[in-house]
């Protein structure tokens, strides 16, 4: 019975780490895009962009 509990815990930690990494990547992407788009201006600040 300890095997599946350990595996579940390991999977849970891996999933949490993956979510954290994706969230960080998303945050960096948005910051970079916003910075770039605001600096470039014109069509880059339009709502459809």
Residue 20, domain extent = 2-40
* Residue 47 placed within a domain: no
CA Rg, the chain, in Å?
A: 19
Tell me, yes or no, if the pTM score tops 0.85.
Answer: no
Summarize the confidence of residues 3-27 as an average pLDDT.
84
Digit-coded pLDDT (tens) for 25-35: 999 988 988 88
* Residue 46 placed within a domain: no
* Residue 15 placed within a domain: yes
Number of independent structural domains in the chain: 1
Angstrom distance (rounded) from CA 42 to CA 39: 9
* Residue 49 placed within a domain: no
Helix, coil or strand: residue 26: helix
Q: Is the pLDDT of residue 1 over 70?
A: no
Q: Within the chain, what is the greatest distance between any pair of CA atoms?
A: 61
């Amino acid at each position: 019975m300890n095997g599946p509990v350990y595996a579940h815990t390991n999977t849970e930690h891996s999933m949490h780490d993956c979510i954290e990494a994706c969230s960080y990547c998303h945050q960096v992407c948005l910051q970079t895009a916003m910075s770039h788009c605001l600096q470039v201006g014109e069509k880059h600040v339009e709502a459809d962009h």
